[in-house]
Amino acid sequence: MADLLVVGSGASGVHFALTALQRGHRVTMLDVGHPRPDIPAPDIAFPDLPEALDDPAAWFLGPGGEQVVYPGDASSYYGHPPSKAYVFRPVPGTPTRSDAMVPLFTFARGGFAEAWTAGCYAFSPTDLTGMPVTSEDLRPHYQEVARRIGIGGVEDDLAPFIPLDAEYLPPLPFDPHSAHLMARYARRRAILHRRHRFFLGRSRVATLTADRDDRRACSQLGRCLWGCPSRSIYTPSQTLERCETFPGFRYRPGLLVRRFEYDGDGRIGQVVAQPVDGGPLLAVAADAVILAAGALGSSRIVLESVAHRTGTAPRLEGLMDNRQIHMPFVTPGMLGTAPMLAAYQFHHLAFAVSRNPATDHVHGQITTLKAASVHPILAGIPGDLRSALHLFQGVRSSLGIANVNLHDTRRSTSYLTLDSTGDGAPCLVVHYDPAPEEPARMAAATRDVRRALRRIGSWVLPGLVRVLPMGASVHYAGTLPMTLDPTPLAVDRSCRSWDFPNLHVVDGAVLPRLPAKNLTFTLMANAVRVATTAF
């Protein structure tokens, strides 16, 4: 049985660790691990929260109103609430410089998926084209992750794009607006398939519809964005708690791993970490190191390790992310219905627009407006705020947003490297170069989704479509890719480094291409695969 050192407690790290522990290995997990604050008034629904909280404005907006979204400073229609600020809280000693991309970092216990919208979309055989792993390789591990976290979904028109290879829970009940859209789609299905190549179905989400252990079924409190008080929405910190029940597991928060140190054969002897609250660097010995700090975090560690030994930082090429487009819409058929303020807040519907070649398909989610911070929406309405408020209240129940994802491919012109010329810690340089054909793909996707939504009775609001800055989707990938043949600064199909024989990488860095969908489910399944097959 090996002593495994896992770096990072995100979705990949905790599922790797749990599998390794179940197989009898000892696991030490090093992590910065900002903890989640307590969730107040856990049984109170969103509309009643202002009455129930001592200082509701501080809870919703931050003590000084830090989370208010002002005109001109938002590329999104919602900001992260103060209760999720811990997910994005930085740590000293991680300077970053970027162009054409706004990278986000997390040092939270549980990683980015502590603030996700729970979408679980298995990669199809088409999505895995050109990758060293196949659907057959991943299938049993998708099934294992689905058993662990609980995913709702049904066999529907999305099955060719999002395989349903695992056991799924019954999906959440629709809100009236989502039900309306689905009914319209059912009536116009043939023409939507034939003319628009548009396929609609239920989102696959890791949100429980039945109690499981200490997690309760979704009780429709409408507090998803602020942090689910009933733990219905899966987050990796739940799996971390499960890891902590194993005697062979040791969780060491408060440590920022800077680098690993290796000998002439590339064999790692120790990992060097910096205590985040000060103090000298700490060396931790390890038989095997598993990097699961996210594509940017793991890449930074590899870069600092190589730079520390050789004096020069290499380039890690192939950085990818999904470009996202937000398309707000109004559904006239829903006018005059009461807004749903206490309801599951995230998306019920997902869609795919097929393309030729099939690897270029577009994927997205449709979220109807339920509970929300409304001031960013009011700020966007072109008119005085009083009229805007009345107009918004009149149409609120008919509003929604389509979140369109585009795929990405590795290019040598998008890369990570280090700049060590400053006095302090080396600066991570993030350079992203969009694909030349991206503007055409964005225009085509926007046009196709707009037309398809029109067919199901929804009008995209003119002038309000927003292309999010690259980096906003937080689906970073591709900087230490899986390859079949030995390649410097890459990993083999078991995600073992070609350069460092006792190093494995299990996060998004290993993906050699990025389909147009959330990658978290695949990262969890791949981490389980690596823990099962390589150890």
248 within 8 A of 369, measured Cβ to Cβ: no
Residues in the chain: 535
73 sits near other proteins (criterion: CB under 8 A): yes
Interface characters, 397-436, with other proteins (x: CB under 8 A): x---------------------------------------
Among 236-244, 286-294, 332-340, 353-361, which window interacts with other proteins (CB under 8 A)? 332-340
60 sits near other proteins (criterion: CB under 8 A): yes
Amino acid at 196: H
190 sits near other proteins (criterion: CB under 8 A): no
Spatial separation of the C-alpha atoms in residues 221 and 244, rounded to whole Å = 29
One residue of 24, 35, 37, 63 binding other proteins per CB under 8 A: 63
Which among 398, 351, 340 has a CA at the least distance from the CA of 202? Answer: 351
Least distance CB 73 / other proteins (angstroms): 7
61 sits near other proteins (criterion: CB under 8 A): yes
One residue of 23, 37, 70, 99 binding other proteins per CB under 8 A: 70
Sheet with 96-99, side-by-side order of all strands: 96-99, 427-431, 415-419, 316-317
384 sits near other proteins (criterion: CB under 8 A): yes
Could you write out the DSSP letters of every residue in 421-439? -SSSSPEEEEE----TTHH
One residue of 50, 92, 93, 275 binding other proteins per CB under 8 A: 50
User: Residue for token digits 């990949």?
Assistant: 12
One residue of 102, 104, 154, 374 binding other proteins per CB under 8 A: 374
Which among 288, 271, 318, 304 has a CA at the least distance from the CA of 480? Answer: 318
Least distance CB 53 / other proteins (angstroms): 8
Spatial separation of the C-alpha atoms in residues 466 and 110, rounded to whole Å = 29
393 sits near other proteins (criterion: CB under 8 A): yes
Characterise 440 by phi-psi region: left (phi > 0), alpha (psi -120 to 50), beta (else): alpha
Spatial separation of the C-alpha atoms in residues 221 and 341, rounded to whole Å = 8
463 sits near other proteins (criterion: CB under 8 A): no
Longest dimension (CA), the chain: 71
By C-beta, is 112 or 329 nearer to other proteins? 329
For residue 423, count CB atoms less than 10 angstroms from its CB and return exposed for 0-12, middle for 13-18, buried for 19 or more. exposed
- How many chain residues interact with other proteins (CB under 8 A)? 48
By C-beta, is 50 or 125 nearer to other proteins? 50
173 sits near other proteins (criterion: CB under 8 A): no
373 sits near other proteins (criterion: CB under 8 A): yes
Least distance CB 466 / other proteins (angstroms): 15
Could you write out the DSSP letters of every residue in 380-431? HSSS-HHHHHHHHHHHGGGEEEEEEE--EE--TTSEEEEE--SSSSPEEEEE
89 sits near other proteins (criterion: CB under 8 A): no
One residue of 250, 355, 375, 451 binding other proteins per CB under 8 A: 375
280 sits near other proteins (criterion: CB under 8 A): no
Alpha helices by DSSP H, listed for 311-381, are 375-380
User: Which residues of the shown chain bind other proteins in the complex (CB under 8 A)?
Assistant: 47, 50-51, 55-66, 68-73, 335-339, 341, 373-375, 378-379, 381-391, 393-397
